[in-house]
């Protein structure tokens, strides 16, 4: 892998963010809105006095972590879509850039926006709702690692959908994190899902993270008791990432064969 070429994909995205306050704003705004929305809901439900645990901590802890994963997904998708919106595929793919370098550049960008976004909403959760995500201390790292790898897989999958079905399919790609969120047990346990969806949740790495988070914080489990689940979640995430990376390359080869790289637009599929 060539670092210059990976950097080119990364810096291109940074130039775009730097040159457009609106683009910059939209990286953070939805996470900020979510924090306030769920923060107020949690505070209200907490004030009813019917719960047996700290409702604000339960919801905001999960939200901050899930927003991190979602942001990684959206950042990869946005970087990919920028090349479609600016009709840049010919320039990009006629260069020495390899597919794995292209994806690595998009991922690198998602790491930065994901971490900045995480820091910002964690701060807001602390300042406005008294929730301190750092109370999880070092246990935060494995949670974030799994969610980061899973976020990458979701981001590349979203891009695969657009790459395969054309740019009109971006409307299917944007909500992928929200759809997967249903079976990720972010705000409720897997047991709350119907039997069929529980099975799907078992195949969703994020569900293990949020089940483990609840076990640690509200049921007094130790880290070693949940570490097996986290390891399984990490393995699943890595397998999905590899499979989806392979799928992206396969769709790329298909598009080369059909000549669709050179005339990629919403009506060409």
Partner 1 sequence: MPKTILKIKNLSKSFGKVQAVRDVSLEIQEGQIIGLLGPNGAGKTTTINMIMGLVTPTTGSIEMFGLDAAKHRSAINKRTNFSAVYSSLPDNLTVYQSLYVFGKLYSVPDLKEKIGQLMEEFDLKKFANTKAGVLSSGEQSRLNFAKAIINTPKLLFLDEPTASLDPQIAGIVRKLIVAYVKKHQAAVLWTSHNMKEIEQTCDQVSFLSHGRILLSGDPKVLPAERGSQDLEELFIAVANEPLDSEN
Residues that bind partner 1 (CB under 8 A): 2, 4-5, 7-8, 11-12, 15-16, 19-20, 82, 86-88, 90-98, 253, 256-259, 261-262
In whole angstroms, the minimum distance from the beta carbon of 80 to partner 1 comes to 13
Given the complex with partner 1, which of 26 and 87 has the nearer CB atom? 87
Nearest to 183 by CA among 193, 168, 169: 193
In whole angstroms, the minimum distance from the beta carbon of 253 to partner 1 comes to 7
In whole angstroms, the minimum distance from the beta carbon of 142 to partner 1 comes to 34
Given the complex with partner 1, which of 16 and 215 has the nearer CB atom? 16
Q: How far apart are CA 200 and CA 202, in angstroms?
A: 5
In whole angstroms, the minimum distance from the beta carbon of 82 to partner 1 comes to 8
In whole angstroms, the minimum distance from the beta carbon of 168 to partner 1 comes to 21
Q: How far apart are CA 35 and CA 26, in angstroms?
A: 15
Nearest to 70 by CA among 6, 105, 117: 117
In whole angstroms, the minimum distance from the beta carbon of 231 to partner 1 comes to 36
The residues, ordered by sequence, that sit 6+ positions from 269 with a Cβ below 8 Å of its Cβ are 165, 166, 168, 260
Asked if residues 101 and 5 have their Cβ atoms less than 8 Å apart, the reply is yes
The residues, ordered by sequence, that sit 6+ positions from 66 with a Cβ below 8 Å of its Cβ are 147, 181, 184, 186, 206, 210
H-helix or E-strand containing 87? none
Given the complex with partner 1, which of 41 and 250 has the nearer CB atom? 250
Given the complex with partner 1, which of 40 and 85 has the nearer CB atom? 85
Nearest to 127 by CA among 35, 28, 38, 51: 35
Given the complex with partner 1, which of 19 and 220 has the nearer CB atom? 19
In whole angstroms, the minimum distance from the beta carbon of 241 to partner 1 comes to 23
Given the complex with partner 1, which of 116 and 256 has the nearer CB atom? 256
Q: Give the chain's end-to-end CA distance (angstroms, integer).
A: 32
DSSP one-letter string for 159-213: HHHHHHH-GGGHHHHTTHHHHHHHTTTSSS-GGGS-HHHHHHHHT-HHHHHHHHH
Nearest to 211 by CA among 236, 192, 237, 239: 192
Given the complex with partner 1, which of 8 and 108 has the nearer CB atom? 8
């Amino acid at each position: 892998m060539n670092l210059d070429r990976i950097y080119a994909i990364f810096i291109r995205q940074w130039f775009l963010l730097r040159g457009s306050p609106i683009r910059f704003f939209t990286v953070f705004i939805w996470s900020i809105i979510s924090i306030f929305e769920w923060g107020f809901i949690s505070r209200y439900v907490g004030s009813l006095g019917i719960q047996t645990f700290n409702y604000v901590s339960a919801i905001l802890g999960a939200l901050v972590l899930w927003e991190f994963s979602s942001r990684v997904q959206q950042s990869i998708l946005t970087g990919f879509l920028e090349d479609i919106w600016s009709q840049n595929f010919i320039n990009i793919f006629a260069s020495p850039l390899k597919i794995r370098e292209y994806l690595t550049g998009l991922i690198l960008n998602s790491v930065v926006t994901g971490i900045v976004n995480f820091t910002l909403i964690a701060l807001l959760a602390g300042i406005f709702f008294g929730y301190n995500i750092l109370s999880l201390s070092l246990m935060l790292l494995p949670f974030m690692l799994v969610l980061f790898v899973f976020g990458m897989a979701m981001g590349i999958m979203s891009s695969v959908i657009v790459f395969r079905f054309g740019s009109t399919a971006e409307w299917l790609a944007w909500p992928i994190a929200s759809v997967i969120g249903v079976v990720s047990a972010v705000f409720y346990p897997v047991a709350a899902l119907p039997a069929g969806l529980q099975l799907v949740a078992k195949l969703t790495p994020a569900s293990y993270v949020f089940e483990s988070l609840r076990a640690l914080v509200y049921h007094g489990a130790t880290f070693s008791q949940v570490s097996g689940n986290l390891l399984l979640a990490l393995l699943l995430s890595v397998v999905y990432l590899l499979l989806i990376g392979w799928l992206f390359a396969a769709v790329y080869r298909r598009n080369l064969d059909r000549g669709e790289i050179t005339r990629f637009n919403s009506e060409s599929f």
